[in-house]
Structure 1
Amino acid sequence: MKFLIVLLVVAFGIWLWRSRRPPPPPAKPRSRTGLPAEMARCAACGLHLPLADAERGPRGVYCSKEHRRQIEG
């Protein structure tokens, strides 16, 4: 009998604690900005980087202006 009373008191305490907690923040809607970016490989060093950040030249795609000058002259 004592065990049942202790169990009820603990269950009531947990219920009381959970009911007084602030509600969780609303979930953020998923946006399309999380889509993977198209990747490119630097012709000089082989580094993979987003195509939007790459330096483009007639002989390929580069990770920096220095590598573009190094290959293309």
Structure 2
Amino acid sequence: MKYLLVFIVLFIAIWLFRKGQREEEREAARKARPVPPKAPPAVGAPQAMLRCAQCGLHLPATDAIAGPDGVYCSVAHRRAAESAR
């Protein structure tokens, strides 16, 4: 019975030792792999830039607010231009 217990302990020790070696090999292989370069961020097509008729701020055409005398950067500037007429 004593030899069976020694055999089991020895078997577990060898199993744990070999398991540790395999994990070290996997870690080394993972570190040795080249890291793929990151893709550059997607950039949209250039947009036309328009100038606010009130303050002169340049903004994309998609963000501009159309008014009677041109385009504006905000509703407040459009209202200010309409009241100044």
Within the alignment, does 1:39 sit opposite 2:49 as a pair?
Answer: yes
Q: Which runs of 5+ in 1 are unaligned?
A: 1-18
Using the size of structure 1 for normalisation, the TM-score is 0.59
Aligned position for 1:21 = 33
Distance in 1 of aligned mates of 2:38 and 2:51: 40
Using the size of structure 2 for normalisation, the TM-score is 0.52
The structure with the largest alpha-carbon Rg is 2
CA RMSD between the two structures: 2.9
Alignment coverage as a number of residue pairs: 55
Structure with greater contact order relative to length (CA < 8 Å, sep ≥ 6):
1
Q: Which runs of 5+ in 2 are unaligned?
A: 1-30
- Identity level (%): 57
Distance in 2 of aligned mates of 1:47 and 1:41: 5
